[in-house]
Structure formats: structure tokens, C-alpha cells
């Protein structure tokens, strides 16, 4: 299946000059969604994670069914103030400003093998911040899985030297 055919391109969103890759058309296609989860499962099973970590919010969409297929736990990484127990927090730079992510401190035991999943790898800032949370929890990053990678933005170069899987590259 050619997943690129299921990604809608929206020019000048969210601002002029940006070509937005919209995954909602992939999500609404039952065969495309099933194939995406199946291929992520096939490619990521070799990492033998104990947990899948997904970033708010689209990382949840792909991370939960992947964790189910791999028979491992799912850990959400959220924006500040969304998690009720004690959290690790990381602030990171955006193109214009800063943002923060949080993860429960008791989400997984130290030494756990962790796979990070998200819909998109662009500049790598969100994934890099998520790695910092995993490190604070004294867990071991075993790989990344992304549905889409925007290669020209160089996000891969910001990330640790572990396997990175991208199903679609632009």
C-alpha cells in the first residue's frame, strides 16, 4: 500500500509557505490505518520494548494500538498540567518560544526498554525532549518510530544514535 497517497497536502497551513501533511485522511481510511499499525508493529517488534511512549496528541493515536500489538504498556507524554501524579518535566525550544512536556515519574521502572512513537519527525524538538524525560526516569531508549519524516528539517540529526523508523519520507 502506498501510504503517501493517503496523506492530504494543505498548502499555506498553518502559515504561508508551509505545506502541511495532514494525516486525518490516513486515519479515516480503515485499510490505511490498519496497514500503518501493522507495518509499525512489524518494523518495531525487533526493538523488543517494554513500553511504547507517545507524545500528545498524535503519538497517542499510533502508540496505543502499537503497544497493544506488541503486548507492552503505553506511556503518555503530555503538555503541562494534564497528568495527576508527580511528573518529570522538560522545557524545550521551539522556532518562536518554548514548550514543555511531562511524564509521570512512576510510569515505568528504571531500566525499562522504551520505544518512542509519533506521527511526524520534523525538527526533532519534541522527540528530543521526550528522550530527556526517558533519561530522567533512568530508562533505556531502544528506538523511534514515525509515520512521516520531513528529511529536509534535519530532526534525525538531533536524536540519539538508536534506530529510527519512518514509514513515509518527504
Q: How far is residue 68's CA from residue 72's CA, in Å, rounded to a whole number?
A: 6
Cβ contact 126:150 at 8 Å: no
58 noted as active-site residue: yes
Q: What b-and-e string marks burial along 23-47, b requiring 16 or more CB atoms within 10 Å of the CB?
A: beebbebeebbebbbebbbeebeeb
Q: How far is residue 8's CA from residue 140's CA, in Å, rounded to a whole number?
A: 35
List 9, 21, 78, 95, catalytic entry: 95
List 56, 58, 113, 156, catalytic entry: 58
How many C-beta neighbours within 10 Å does residue 113 have? 16
Task: Indicate left, alpha or beta for 116 from its phi (over 0: left) and psi (-120 to 50: alpha).
Answer: beta
Question: Which residues are catalytic, by number?
Answer: 58, 95
Amino acid at each position: 500500500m502506498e501510504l503517501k497517497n493517503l496523506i492530504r497536502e494543505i498548502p499555506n497551513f498553518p502559515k504561508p509557505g508551509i505545506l502541511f501533511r495532514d494525516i486525518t485522511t490516513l486515519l479515516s481510511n480503515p485499510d490505511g490505518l490498519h496497514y500503518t499499525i501493522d507495518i509499525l508493529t512489524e518494523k518495531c517488534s525487533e526493538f523488543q520494548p517494554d513500553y511504547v511512549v507517545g507524545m500528545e496528541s498524535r503519538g497517542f493515536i499510533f502508540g496505543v494500538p502499537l503497544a497493544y500489538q506488541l503486548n507492552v504498556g503505553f506511556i503518555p507524554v503530555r503538555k503541562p498540567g494534564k497528568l495527576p501524579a508527580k511528573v518529570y518535566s522538560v522545557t524545550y525550544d521551539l522556532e518562536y518560544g518554548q514548550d514543555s512536556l511531562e511524564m509521570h515519574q512512576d510510569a515505568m521502572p528504571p531500566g525499562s526498554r522504551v520505544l518512542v512513537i509519533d506521527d511526524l519527525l520534523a525538527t526533532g524538538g519534541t522527540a528530543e525532549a521526550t528522550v530527556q524525560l526517558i533519561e530522567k526516569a533512568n530508562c533505556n531508549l531502544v528506538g523511534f518510530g514515525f509515520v512521516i519524516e520531513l528529511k529536509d528539517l534535519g530532526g534525525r540529526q538531533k536524536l540519539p544514535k538508536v534506530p529510527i523508523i519512518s514509514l513515509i519520507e518527504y
